[in-house]
Structure 1
Amino acid sequence: MILASAQNLLYLLLPLLGSMLLCYGIYQVISESKVTGQKKIQERLRGVSAKKADKEKASILRRAAGGEAKSFADQVLGKLSVVNRLQQLLDQADVDWSASKMLMNLGGAAIAVMCGLLLIQASPLAAVGCAVAIMFMPLMFLSFMRKKRLKKITNQLPDVFEMMSQALRAGHSLASAVQLVHEQMPNPIAKEFGRVYHEQNLGLKIEEALVSMANRLDLLDVKFFVTAVLIQRQTGGDLAEVIDNIGGVIRSRIELFGMVQGLTAEGRLSGWVLFALPFLVFFGCMYLNPKYASVLLEDPTGKILLMVAGGMQLMGLAMIRWIVNIKV
C-alpha cells in the first residue's frame, strides 16, 4: 500500500519537475546563443582572434571586477557548500563547467531516466537506483580526472623548482621565474603558473597569486613552496636554495613512493583477484549449471547470503586497500 502511494506521488511530481527542467534547459540554450552571438559580433568589430592567453587575461579581469553575470542557478545554488566543493573539483580537474549548471543537468538527466523507467512499468527501486547512478557516475569520473591531473602536477614540481632556482641564481626576479615556467614547462603545471603570471601582470601581488594557486590546487607540496616564498618576502634569505631543497625533497619522496608501489603491487593484485574470484565462480556456475546457481537468486535465504557476501567482499577490498595504501 505504501509502495503504491509512493509510486502515485512520483507520477504526479515527475511531470512537474520535468516541465520545470525543460523550461530551464530552453532558457539556458537561448541565453547561451545570445552570449555566443554577442561574442562573435565583438570579435568581428575588434578584429581580434580568440587566443588562449587573451581569454585567460579577460577571465582574470572579469573576476577582479566582481565576476561575470551569474545565472539564476548560480545565484541560488552558489550559496551551498556542496556546490562550492563541486566547483573546486571541476577546477582541479581542469573542466570549464559551472557546478550549478552541472547539477541541474545531472538532475534533469536522472529525472528523465527515472520517468522513462517508471513509464515502462519498471520497479520504483530500480528507477531510483538508476537515477542515483546517473548522478554519481560523472562525479566519479571527475574525481578520477582530478587525481590524474594533480598526480601529474606533483611529478612536474621537482623540475619546476629546479628551473626556478636556476633562474633566481641567474639574477631573474620571482615573476620572471614564474613566466619561465609558464613558457618552458608542459601542461598542466604551465597553465597554473601562467595564471599566476597573468594575475601578477594585471595588478595582483605575486604573493596573493601564489596563495590563490595553492588554495586552488590544494597540494601540500605547493603549499610548502608558497609558504617558503611568503617567509622569504618578509624575512629575506636565499630563496633559490630553499626552492632547490623543496624540489629535492619532493623528488626523493616520488622515488620512495615508486619503490613502495612496487613492493605493494603483489598485495594490490591479490586484493583484486580475491574480489573478482567469487563473481567469476558464480557466473561460471550460472553458465555450466544454471539450476544449481539460480537457487541463490530465487530463494530468499540465497538473496540474503548474496547481500552478506557482497558486503563482506567490499569490506575485504577496503581492508586490503588500507593495508597497501602507504602514505609517503
Structure 2
Amino acid sequence: MADLNLPTFVAPLLAALAFAGVVFALIYPYFADDRKEKRLESVTVGRTARKGSAVAEIQSSRKKSVAETLKEIEVREKAKKKITMSLRLLRAGSKRKPRDFYVMSGLLGVLMAATAMFILNLPPAAAVVAAFVGGFGLPRWILNKMTVRRQNKFLSQLANAIDVIVRGIKSGLPLNECLQVIARESPDPLGSEFMELVEQQKLGVSLADGLDRMCDRLPLPEVRFLTIVIGIQQQAGGNLSEALSNLAGVLRERQALALKVKALSAEAKASALVLASLPPGVMMMVYLSTPEYILPLFTTTMGHFMVAFGAVWMLTGVLIMRKMINFKF
C-alpha cells in the first residue's frame, strides 16, 4: 500500500521543486547584477577616493555652512514673539496705530448692536451677536483681506525685482545699489518694502537682519527663499547672480502653478457657491410667493430649531467644500 501511494507524494514534490527552480532562474539575474554593481562601485570608489578628496572637503564645508545658516533661521523663527496688533497693521500696509484700530472696532460693534436692536427690532441676544461680529469679527476679517491683497501684489512684482538684481550684478553694480534701484523704481508695496530695507542699512542694520525684518512684515515662503539665498551667499560665497536667477525661475513657476490651480478649481468654487446660495434663495422665493407657508419657521420654537440646525449643517458643508478646493503647494 505504501508503494502504491508513493507516486501521489512524489508528483507534488517534483512540481514544487520545478516551480522553485523556475523562480530562482528568473530572480537570480537581478541579484547577480546587484552583486556586480556593488563590486564595481567598491572598485570605483577605491580608485576615485583620493582624486576627489579636495572636492569633497569643499562640498562638505559648503554643506556645513548651509546647514548652520538654516539652523540659525529656524532658531530665529522659534524665538519670535506673539504677533501683535501693530505687526498685523504693518503687514496690512496700514499707518494707523493699534489704539485707533481698537476704537474703530468698538464703534463698529456698538453701531451694529444698535442697528439690530432699535432698527431691526431683534432680541437682545441677536444684538449681542451683532456687537461681537462688529467689534471682533468684521474688523479682523477686513484686516486679513488687506494683508492677503498686499502680499499677493508684492509676490506679483518680486520675480521682476530679482531679475533687476541679477542684471545689475552681472553689469558690475554692488548689491546695495541694485536694492536702491528697486526701491526707487518699483511701485508699492515692493518699492516701500525695499526702501525700508535700504533705510535700515543706512542706519547700520546688516542686510541679513533687514531681510529678517522684511520676513516679519511679509511672512511669505518666497521672501524667506530670498533671505536664505542672500544669507548663504554672504557666508559661503558663490555666484549670487546665478542663484538669484534660479530663484526667479522658481518664483515664476510657483505663480504659474497657482494660476493653474485657480483655473482648475474655478468650477468647484462655482458649484460650492451655487449649493451654498440655493437654500436661502429658495427660502426667499417661498417667502415672497406664499409667506404663510414658511412663517412657522420664524414664529415657532420648532421652526427656530430647524432653521438653526439647517444653518449649522450648511455651514459645515461650506467649510468642507472650502477645504476641498483650497490647495496648498
TM-score computed with the length of structure 1 as normaliser? 0.71
Separation in structure 2 between the aligned mates of residue 206 and residue 83 of structure 1, nearest angstrom: 24
Helix, strand or coil at the partner of 1:97: coil
Partner AA of 2:89 in structure 1: L
Separation in structure 1 between the aligned mates of residue 90 and residue 265 of structure 2, nearest angstrom: 32
Q: Which residue of 2 aligns with 1:145?
A: 146
Separation in structure 1 between the aligned mates of residue 108 and residue 159 of structure 2, nearest angstrom: 43
Give the alignment's Cα RMSD to 1 decimal: 2.3
- C-alpha displacement of 1:299: 2.2
- Alignment length, in residue pairs? 248
Q: Which residue of 2 aligns with 1:56?
A: none
- C-alpha displacement of 1:128: 1.3
Q: Which residue of 1 aligns with 2:190?
A: 189
Q: Deviations over 1:129-160 (max 9, x none)?
A: 22112212121111111111101111111111
Matched, 1:93 2:107: no
- C-alpha displacement of 1:203: 1.9
Q: Which residue of 2 aligns with 1:212?
A: 213
Matched, 1:199 2:196: no
Separation in structure 1 between the aligned mates of residue 297 and residue 115 of structure 2, nearest angstrom: 30
Query: Are 1:83 and 1:99, in contact at CA under 8 Å, matched by a contact in 2?
Result: no
Return closer, same or farther for 1:118/1:146 CA change in 2, 3 Å cut-off: same
- C-alpha displacement of 1:104: 3.5
| Identical residues among aligned pairs (%) | 26
Q: What residue ranges of structure 2 are gaps of 5+ in the alignment?
A: 1-79
Matched, 1:237 2:242: no
Separation in structure 1 between the aligned mates of residue 200 and residue 269 of structure 2, nearest angstrom: 43
Query: Are 1:83 and 1:100, in contact at CA under 8 Å, matched by a contact in 2?
Result: no
Q: Which residue of 2 aligns with 1:311?
A: 312
Higher Rg of the two aligned structures: 2
- C-alpha displacement of 1:202: 2.1
Matched, 1:166 2:167: yes
Q: Deviations over 1:259-314 (max 9, x none)?
A: 11111110010000000010110000000000011121122222111111111111
Return closer, same or farther for 1:82/1:312 CA change in 2, 3 Å cut-off: farther
Q: Deviations over 1:177-225 (max 9, x none)?
A: 1111112222111110011011111222222111111121111110111
Q: Which residue of 1 aligns with 2:127?
A: 127
Deviates more, 1:116-125 or 1:249-258: 116-125
Separation in structure 2 between the aligned mates of residue 122 and residue 303 of structure 1, nearest angstrom: 14
Return closer, same or farther for 1:113/1:325 CA change in 2, 3 Å cut-off: closer
Partner AA of 1:160 in structure 2: A
Residue correspondence of structure 1 range 112-123 to structure 2 within 5 A: 114=113, 123=123
- C-alpha displacement of 1:123: 3.1
Residue correspondence of structure 1 range 7-22 to structure 2 within 5 A: none
Query: Are 1:84 and 1:99, in contact at CA under 8 Å, matched by a contact in 2?
Result: no
Query: Are 1:181 and 1:190, in contact at CA under 8 Å, matched by a contact in 2?
Result: yes
